[in-house]
Chains A and B, each alone.
Chain A
Amino acid sequence: MIAHRLQITCQTTALAELRAFLDKVLEPLHLTEQDHHQLKLAVEEVCANLIIHSHQCNEHDIIKLTVKNSKGQLIFEIQDEGEAFNMLDYKVPDLKNVIAQKRKGGLGIILVKKIMDEIQFESKSGTNTCRLIKRFSS
């Protein structure tokens, strides 16, 4: 099993760097264009949430990403040391409310939940770990 690692600073301009890294990691897997695109999106949505909401774009904070490809599943492990945000506890907003309240947030978590097969979250001694799992039938 090969693990790919990236560390980014908590600023939104790091998201392009994150996408470039994911392109490089996912490219050799020859996924469908849509799977590739959606996995990249889901991982970015989680990181963008952390950067903006847990770390208030503090460039001194970091997020660590590890991608593991194991037994027909891809595991994206995202770690930070900010305020714990467990998206499993987050009640996804109704789209109608998003429009009516002119909210610009909340959509990202809907995307992550729809794209990934499993989401795990744990917070231990100050480190939060969000694991996004996508399974592929081979």
Chain B
Amino acid sequence: MLSLEIIKEHPHHILTLNGEIDASNSVELDDSIRKMIDDGAQSILVDGTNLHYISSAGLGVFMSYLEDFQAEGIRFIIYGLGPSVLEVFKILGLDQLISIMPDKETVIKEI
């Protein structure tokens, strides 16, 4: 099960992920990110506090947008990942390509 919610907290678009992302629902993640870009988002924060599982299908969605984010100057940060999910990002080296922060407080303080 996966639920996604986008809220605007000026100047950020916050995408909250709740549940598990696999090949059956990664398209929902794709749609949500596309929607925020189309909405003119300049700062996208992904709240992964309640993301309990993500397979390569979901990770590939993030990867596929990295160039767009760079080209359009969109800030993209994922925060709140639990240790097991974070480790999966690290196995692939995605922690070197995506800005990952421990929690929302850190995000607000650092940016």
Which A residues are closer than 8 A to B by beta carbons? 11-13, 15-16, 19, 33-34, 37-38, 40-41, 44-45, 48, 51-52, 95, 98-100, 102-108, 110-111, 114-115
Contacts and interface: CB of A to CB of B under 8 A. Distances in A.
Contacts of A15: 22-24, 55
B15 to A, nearest CB: 18
B24 A108 contact: no
A44 B61 CA distance: 17
Interface string B77-111: 00000011101100111000100000000000000
Given A34-B83, A108-B57, 5 more contacts: A34-B87, A44-B55, A48-B23, A106-B56, A107-B63
Contact of A99 (B23, B61, B97): B97
Name, among B23, B55, B64, B91, the residue most crowded by chain A CB atoms within 10 Å (CB to CB). B23
Contacts of A115: 91
A13 B27 CA distance: 13
26 contacts: A11-B24, A12-B22, A12-B23, A15-B23, A15-B55, A19-B22, A19-B53, A34-B84, A34-B87, A38-B84, A38-B88, A38-B91, A44-B55, A45-B56, A48-B56, A51-B23, A52-B23, A95-B63, A99-B67, A99-B97, A104-B60, A107-B92, A108-B56, A108-B57, A110-B56, A114-B92
B17 to A, nearest CB: 16
B66 interface: yes
Interface string B47-62: 0000001011101110
Given A12-B24, A38-B88, A111-B91, A100 B67 contact: yes
A16 B61 CA distance: 19
B63 A37 contact: no
A13 B23 CA distance: 8
A102 B62 CA distance: 10
A40 B85 CA distance: 12
Interface in B1-53: 1, 20, 22-24, 26, 53
A45 B55 contact: yes
Contacts of B88: 37-38, 41, 111
